[in-house]
Amino acid sequence: MVVNIAVLASGRGTNLQSIIDNIENGYIHDACIKVVISDVKDAYALERAKKHDIDAVFIDPFKFSNKSEYEKELIRELQDYYIDLVLLAGFMRILGSDFVKFYEHRILNIHPSLLPAFKGLRAQKQALDYGVKVSGCTVHFVTQDMDSGPIILQECVPVLDDDTEESLENRILQKEHVIYPKAVKLWVEGKL
């Protein structure tokens, strides 16, 4: 059976690209990205999807009276594609409890820190401000509490004395592109 995947993204979509590449090269088998959905009309992630003949959908959150109505539309869209697994790839919205319950144990996220440290936005800046010597990235299950779900995989990255937020972000991103496809592969193969 092929696992139908949806990717929710708000930006460039580099983690999306790493998942696409690993499906196309056969590392992740028996899986297909059916749709990429963004809350940002001009997110480059949508262009990446189109380049690989993946449906690209913009759902404008500002057209809905509240978060719950927006997420109901997200669920309707995902159901139209018979989605088994939802991947968050730079999706800059916190999902509500109804959405998380509907896809319980079927939503993965990648975060640029070694959770539980440095949750939320600008995790690399948080790491630099705190003065840690090691940071990294985490793939985890999404739960109702932000960046708090069960950890699947983590990868460490040294924090260098001359690091900037951007240089640390770039090194962490390289590791994200390795561990996110690995976590997806484990989920697809029923090993999580």
Active site residues: 111
Q: Which region, left, alpha or beta, applies to residue 26 given φ > 0 means left and ψ of -120 to 50 means alpha?
A: left
d(CA 6, CA 147): 19
d(CA 80, CA 112): 31
What is 20-65 written as a DSSP string? HHHHHTTSS-SEEEEEEEESSTT-HHHHHHHHTT-EEEE--GGGSS
d(CA 56, CA 59): 10
Contact partners, residue 126, CB within 8 Å, separation at least 6: 113, 118, 120
Beta bridge partners of 14: none
